[in-house]
Amino acid sequence: MKEHSKPTFESYNRDPKLYDEIFDENDNVRNIYATLFDLYSEHSAKDFARLNDKAKASFFNQGITFQVYGDHEVKEKIFPFDLFPRIIDPQEWQVIENGVLQRSKALNHFLWDVYHEKNIIKEGIVPLELISSSANYLDQMNGFDPPGGIYNHISGTDLIKHSDGQYYVLEDNIRCPSGVSYVICNRTALKRALFGVFNHYKTHTVTNYAENLLEILETVKPKGVDIPNCVVITPGIYNSAYYEHSYLAKAMGVELVEGRDLFVENDFVYMKTITGPEKVDVIYRRIDDQFLDPLEFKPDSALGVPGLMAAYKQGNVCLVNAPGTGVADDKAIYTYMPEIIKYYLDEEPILNNVPTYHCSRPDELKYVLENISELVIKPVDEAGGYGISIGNRLTKEEIEEVKETVKASPRKYIAQPIMSLSVHPTYIEENESFEPRHVDLRTFTLLGDQKEFVLKGGLTRVALRKGNLIVNSSQGGGSKDTWVLKNNQ
Amino acid sequence: MDLDYHIRYSATNTYENQAAGALWQFLIIPESNDSQELISDSFTNSLKIKTEKSINGYNFKTYRIRPTESFEAVEFNADFHLIKKAENIFEKVANATGEEYNHLRSIGFRAENDIFLRNTLLTTLPQEVEFKFDESISIFENLQKLNAWIYEEFTFKTDVTDIDTDLNHILEIKQGVCQDFAHLFIAIAKNFGIPSRYVSGYLHQGNGYFGDSQMHAWVECNIPGAGWIGFDPTNNLLAVENHIKVAHGKDYSDCPPLKGVVYSSGKNETEYTVQVLAHQQQQ
């Protein structure tokens, strides 16, 4: 505690076992953060309390809220925002950008393969069981060519920085990854609260996401369409990501619709408008596969559009992301990512994978059961941080319980070493000071026909509770503005 | 000798309360394939709404009707004219090689046929059955034995099962209808590793076969070297000239003849009948 014993950093205790994003191992402020640190140190604790309120009000006034699914009730919350931005230097970012793009492309090849020739399975690289036991494999997609050959138009890749200072990918989300609207709102909120800090850094914009998304959607328009009519379909106002759906539609300048606003006639999709039906060509759907079309999937779903799948399979409308992508964002598939990248792209993986044990393999299951206290146990098919057990946080009884659960259905679980997420100074209201909290990073990658885009920025999620490792918003996480710096600082 | 078929499908839907709109999809059109050729088809409804043609998720042709006005009852009539070609299955299976069991277990074959090897809710074998495969005879011969075994052990009886009845119950009561026997056949064959699929279609009952005057169900199995061969365990027949295929899927839930979304409260009922008339084609 020498350099940084300024008012708001007084109680900042660097944990030498963790990678601290702003302080190096000698407690010196890392170069990239030096200016920001000086700027922030000029403010008193009181200033931050005031700025914190201002930022909160900014979110509240924009109506940026989300919902948490509890055991009994659904709660509406403001997404907690932190005033201290995360900064990523240009060289480091280039590696991330190349790495996430590589993964998205490899996953797209993989999806094409498992819905066509299945060569990666026939050659024994990925076991058939992972596909045949996956609830997310859609038989209806077998043999179908999606427009432009693209399945995962939008990917959200989650990364962490481990104590070794290296980035690791935690998962690839290629169903309906959310969070990008918060990236943009965080930038807005930080600019409102602390505009001056942006004068000292050359930061890439994040507000170009929507225009790039629209361009990507337009690249996968059906054949014979000149200027495609794109829409965003949402499950409705009760969905936890409704704000994002409405934000993206507004920012792209396209309609936000619900299932009941669309209908299918002669295998074409139309939107009901006050001036009559209007043909729809590309649908950015934020509805899960099983709810898309009651004629084909869950028959009682009122969220989707009856006949939509047939319109899609006849090539008259494009669905983004393609139905059936879930088979590749299974956590068990994740563990084969290094092999998948090598197989399709003939490249070495740019980003690290966390080493993973498959409970479906008897020898690995044995290791997992014996070393459970040093591992994280994850269900392969749950999203949002639900159902995760962290070995060293469990009581003896809980360990036994987890063991039984895993033994009962080993295929459902994987285990990974406990990764120590890097920490970042985070303003803690109760203590009126900055304290280290764990962070991760969600990046957003777009793939279209002959076009690709990685958002230069991302969602840095922060676990607000001390020591907590799970950063998902549904588990009480907040987020930070994330700056990717331009080359010429 | 080729057979000339005329098939009529009629259905009536009635609704307890007036329905404000609907979308019905009928999976009843015979497919054209190597052994059958659809010559003509027509479809009418009492609401006088134009018929759309579409496909289901597995690319089988469907009719769609989308009324936007309210209604309480609706009648549908479909007519098909079809030629069924004479086919010699025994010639096909003669191609089966001695390597067929190895082929069945190869990763290439299993990957290609994965969809029809997976268990579904309706085709999971809940317990061991008495029927055993014998690798000293061909796969085809085994499946013929399985066909006969189901026919002999189980009794055709309507109204003891419904579309959701699981195999546990069928094995217990040893009764059921064509759907149940098809599901049981599929479960046993898949359990041994033979890709098997549920077939929905029409049966020519001129010879007194079981199948009621309704849509019929049987099974197709992919035998290495021979391809997909049809077995009808309800009648202990090979599905040849008396079986007119409409669609296939993993089980019944992939190919019900009628699916619909109806904007109405209260109960509804569907009644339908099928008539199949055949005569030999004069060459």
Are the Cβ atoms of A295 and B56 closer than 8 angstroms? yes
As a whole number, mean pLDDT of residues A443-467 equals: 93
Q: What is the pLDDT of residue B60?
A: 97
Q: A315: which 2 tokens? A: 């090539």
Domain containing B22 — which CATH number?
Answer: 2.60.40.2250
B180 and B96 inside one domain: yes
Instruction: With a cut of 90, say whether residue A192 has pLDDT above it.
Output: no
> Domain residues of chain A, as ranges?
355-417
What residues in A contact B56, CB-CB < 8 Å?
295-296, 310
Verify that B237 and B195 share a domain, yes or no.
yes
Q: State the pLDDT at residue A463.
A: 87
- The Cα B252–Cα B162 span in angstroms is 11
Interface of B with A in 98-127 (CB under 8 A): 107-108, 110-112, 114-115, 117-118
Nearest neighbour of A128 by CB, restricted to B56, B110, B259: B110
Q: Could you tell me which residues come within 8 angstroms of residue B66 by beta carbon, excluding any fewer than 6 positions away?
A: A263, A265, B21, B22, B23, B24, B49, B52
Please name the residue that has the structure tokens 């011969």: B141
Q: Could you say which of A128, A267, A299 has the minimum Cβ distance to residue B114?
A: A128
Interface test with A, best of B52, B54, B63 (most A CBs within 10 A): B54
Instruction: State the smallest CA–CA distance between residue B254 and chain A in angstroms.
Output: 8
pLDDT at B29: 97
Q: Are residues B75 and B94 in the same domain?
A: no
Range of the domain at B8: 3-84+256-280
Q: Are residues B77 and B110 in the same domain?
A: no
Contact A296 B64 (CB under 8 A): no
Verify that B76 and B119 share a domain, yes or no. no
Rounded to whole angstroms, how far apart are CA atoms A152 and A447?
A: 7
Q: Both B263 and B229 in a single domain?
A: no
Instruction: Give pLDDT, residue A3.
Output: 46
Per-residue model confidence as pLDDT tens digits over A24-36: 999 999 999 999 9
Q: What are the helix (H) ranges across chain B?
A: 89-93, 100-105, 107-112, 139-153, 167-173, 178-191
Decide if A336 contacts A302 (C-beta within 8 A).
Answer: no
Residue range A355-417, CATH number: 3.30.1490.270
Residue B6 to residue A143: CA distance in whole angstroms: 33
As a whole number, the mean pLDDT across chain A is 90
Q: Which residues of B touch A118 (CB under 8 A)?
A: 111-112, 114
List the CATH number of the domain containing B213: 3.10.620.30
- Which pLDDT belongs to residue A200? 93
Mean pLDDT of A242-253: 95
Report CA A104 to chain centroid distance, whole Å.
Answer: 13
Same domain, B119 and B133: yes
Q: Does B81 touch chain A (CB under 8 A)?
A: no
pLDDT by position in tens, chain B (length 283): 788 999 999 999 998 888 888 899 999 999 999 999 999 999 999 999 999 999 999 999 999 999 988 888 899 999 999 999 887 888 888 766 678 999 999 999 999 999 999 999 999 998 889 999 999 899 999 999 999 999 999 998 888 888 778 888 888 889 899 999 999 999 999 999 999 999 999 998 876 666 557 899 999 999 998 999 999 999 999 998 899 999 999 999 999 999 988 887 888 888 889 999 888 765 5
* Range in A371-385, A449-463, B194-208 the model is least confident about: A371-385
Q: Are A223 and A212 in contact (CB under 8 A)?
A: no
Q: Which of B55, B59, B114 shows the shortest C-beta gap to A132?
A: B114
B208 Cβ under 8 Å from any chain A Cβ: no
Same domain, B73 and B129: no
- In this complex, do B57 and A140 lie within 8 Å of one another by their Cβ atoms? yes
| Residues A114-165 pLDDT 10s | 999 999 999 999 999 888 888 899 999 999 999 999 999 999 999 999 988 9
Task: For residues B30 and A271, give the distance between their C-alpha atoms in angstroms, rounded to a whole number.
Answer: 33
Nearest chain B CA: its distance from A291 CA (Å) = 13
Q: Are B178 and B220 contained in the same domain?
A: yes
In this predicted structure, the answer to whether residue A287 has a pLDDT above a threshold of 60 is yes
- Is B52's CB within 8 Å of A313's CB? no
Q: Is the pLDDT of residue A66 over 70?
A: no
Do B103 and B210 fall within a single domain? yes
Identify the band that residue A443 occupies on the pLDDT scale cut at 50, 70 and 90: very high
Angle between helices A180-193 and A45-62 (to 10 degrees): 130
Report pLDDT for A76. Answer: 62
Question: Residues of A with CB below 8 A from B57's CB?
Answer: 139-140, 296, 309-310, 313
Q: Mean pLDDT across the stretch A336-342?
A: 96
The ipTM (two decimal places) reads: 0.93
Cβ–Cβ below 8 Å for B115 and A142: yes
Residue A1, pLDDT above cutoff 60: no
Q: Which residue has the higher pLDDT, A319 or A331?
A: A319
pLDDT of residue A4: 45
More reliable by pLDDT, A298 or A342 = A342
Average pLDDT of span A305-332: 94
- B95 Cβ under 8 Å from any chain A Cβ: no
Candidates A120, A128, A131, A139: best to mutate against B (most CBs of B within 10 A) is: A139
- pLDDT reported for residue B131: 95
Q: What is the DSSP string of B167-188?
A: HHHHHHH-EE-HHHHHHHHHHH
> Comparing A156 with A489, which gets the higher pLDDT?
A156
My answer on whether B120 and B208 are in the same domain is yes
- Cα B229–Cα B233–Cα B235 angle in degrees, nearest 5: 110
- Tally the domains of chain B: 2
Nearest to A313 among B55, B110, B261 (CB): B55
* Residues on A contacting B at a C-beta cutoff of 8 Å: 118, 121-122, 124, 128, 131-132, 139-140, 142, 263-267, 294-296, 299, 306-307, 309-310, 313-314
Pairwise CB contact (< 8 Å): A295 & B112: no
Tell whether the model's pLDDT for residue A2 goes beyond 50.
Answer: no
Contact A104, A340 (CB under 8 A): no
Flag whether residue B164 sits within 8 Å of chain A, measured between CB atoms: no
Count of CB atoms situated within 10 Å of the CB of A192: 14
pLDDT band at A61 (very low <50, low <70, confident <90, very high): confident
Q: What is the pLDDT of residue A326?
A: 94
- B200 and B214 assigned to the same domain: yes
Q: Both tokens of residue A90?
A: 């240009």
